[in-house]
Amino acid sequence: MAESHNWAFPAKLQPDSGEVGFDLERALDAVVSVRTEVPEDAFTASILGTERLGNGVVIRDDGLVLTIGYLITEASAVWLTTNGGNAVGGYPLAYDQATGFGLVQPLGRLGVAALRRGSAASCEVGDDVIMAGHGGRKHALKTQVFAKREFAGYWEYVLDEALFTAPAHPQWGGAALIGDDGRLLGIGSLLVQEQVEGKSLQGNMIVPIDILEPILEDLLTRGRANCPPRPWLGMYTAEVGEKIAVAGLAEGGPAERADVQSGDVVLEVAGDRVQGLADFYRKVWSIGPAGSEVPLTLSREGAVSRVQVHSADRQDFLRKPQLH
C-alpha cells in the first residue's frame, strides 16, 4: 500500500508553533507511519485487510512505538517511517484486546525523540488539542474535545471513558492526540458520526493514554496484560433501538459453533436482562475467564431460545508474530 503525502490540511487548521507552549516540531516528529502486511489466511484478514497503514507514536527513548492494535494484529511484516524519511522494520510486541493498544519495537534506530505521556484525565470537554498523523504540521489538525464518555464497540470492546474530538482527522488510526502541554493524551482509534446539539458531527474516538500505564510492563515482558483473558464469543453485535442484535459472527468462533445466528436478538446473559451493548459485554466478562460457559437467552423470529456458548481466548485465533 503506497503512502501518499500529497495532501495537507488548510493552513488555518494546522497548529502553529507560535500558538503553543511547547516544541511543536519535536512533538510532531515523534509520530511515525506504521505500515503492515498480513497473510491472506490470517483470521483478521477478511475484516481488516492484508495491507494496513496508519500511525504510531514513539513513547520511549529506546524507540518503542505505541499504536492502535488493529494495525499490527497478525502482521507478518511491519515498517516504521519517520517524518525525516528514515524507514526501519518493526516487531509487533503486543496487542492488548481490552484497551486496543498495540506496541511495536523498531529493529533499527528511528532517530527521533519520544513524546512524553500525559493524562487524559487532565483534559476537559471543550479543550483545544492537536490530532497529529505522520507527516508533520501539514498532517496535524487543531481540534477540540467534545465528549468524554463510555464507548462500546461491536467487536466485544468497551472503554469506561473514551475521548471524542472534532473536526475529524482523516487518517485517525494510531494518530497522536496531543494536549496543550505537548504531552500525549491518547491514540486515535475510529471515525465516528455523532449528534451534538441536534447537529450531525464527524469526529474521532480516542483511546486515553491513562489505561496504558497499568499494563505497559506486562505487555513488554509477557506480550499481554497479567490477568485472565476475557471470555470471547466471536459475535459482532449492535444496538438497534433498545435491542442488542447479532450483526455477524466470526467464522469458526464460539457463537457460531453454538448455533447463534445473524439477526438473533440477545435478551439475557445467565438469566440477567441485557441493558445496552456495554452492559451485555460486562455481563459476559463477569461470568469468568476465557473458556467459561456463557448462557445466552436469544430471540429469533419471535421465538425465545437458550444456548450455551463455550467462550474462548480471542488470542488463540490469531497468528503469533515471528521474529525473522
pLDDT in tens, 253-300: 999 999 999 999 999 999 999 999 999 999 999 999 999 999 999 999
DSSP labels, 89-105: EEEEEEE-TTT-EEEEE
pLDDT in tens, 3-60: 556 899 999 999 999 999 999 999 999 999 999 999 999 999 999 999 999 999 999 9
Across 91-112, average pLDDT = 97
DSSP labels, 114-151: PPPB--GGG--TT-EEEEE-SSGGGGEEEEEEEEEEEE
Cell readout for 170 is 482523516
| Residue 23 CA, distance from chain mean position | 27
Give CA–CA dist 57/292, Å, rounded. Answer: 36
pTM for the structure as a whole: 0.95
Give CA–CA dist 287/278, Å, rounded. Answer: 15
Give CA–CA dist 266/15, Å, rounded. Answer: 46
What is the pLDDT confidence band of residue 1, given thresholds at 50, 70 and 90?
Answer: very low
List domains and CATH numbers for the chain.
13-114 (2.40.10.10), 120-214 (2.40.10.10), 235-317 (2.30.42.10)
